[in-house]
Amino acid sequence: MNMIRNIAGLMIILSLLPIAMEAFRFSAAIPFEYDEVFDELSLCQLRESLLISYDLQFSDSALYFSLHNKDFSLSKVNDKLIMQPGTQIFLSKVDSLYFEERNGVIYVCYRKDEKEYERALVSARGFYLDRFSDCDVRDDEPDRSEE
């Protein structure tokens, strides 16, 4: 009985083998753009930083914001989208780049390898901690007994 099960299993595997080989051959021929994937991943990291940033201001060529009590700028330098001070590169090999606002959202629009891209970055209103405060911070004194 076990010999019949083993032979039936081998027959099933052998009948599926040509289908699997054809699927591998088909999927290997699909072109894959690694640069687009890397750009999306880096823009996701930029969105995480911009999510908690505040005092957003932007022009066509730059985005200015504050993060962790430091002022930063995001602009195109030498065909790269760079956050300064320091040098954190988010996009590379960019032909042209500009920022624009539509419906309360700031978009980065860029051209790379003869293709146009538009990606949403952050809400134009920004994030302000004062909106979520329930108490008057000026008169608030910490209660040391609760620590």
Residue 31: asked if its preceding bond is cis (omega within 30°), the reply is no
Q: Is the pTM of this model over 0.85?
A: no
- Write the CB contacts of 68 (distance below 8 Å, at least 6 apart in sequence): none
* Overall average pLDDT of the 101-117 stretch: 90
**Per-residue pLDDT at 11:** 92
- For the chain, what is the mean pLDDT? 84
What are the tens digits of pLDDT across the range 80-100?
Answer: 999 988 889 999 999 999 999
pLDDT of 130 higher than 70: no
Q: pLDDT band for 49, please (50, 70, 90 cuts).
A: confident
Task: Tell me what percent of the chain is helix, strand and coil, each rounded to the nearest 5.
Answer: 35, 35, 30
**pLDDT tens-digit map of 26-44:** 998 888 878 888 999 999 9
% of the chain at pLDDT higher than 70: 85
pLDDT of residue 22: 93
Asked whether the predicted pLDDT for residue 109 surpasses 90, the reply is yes
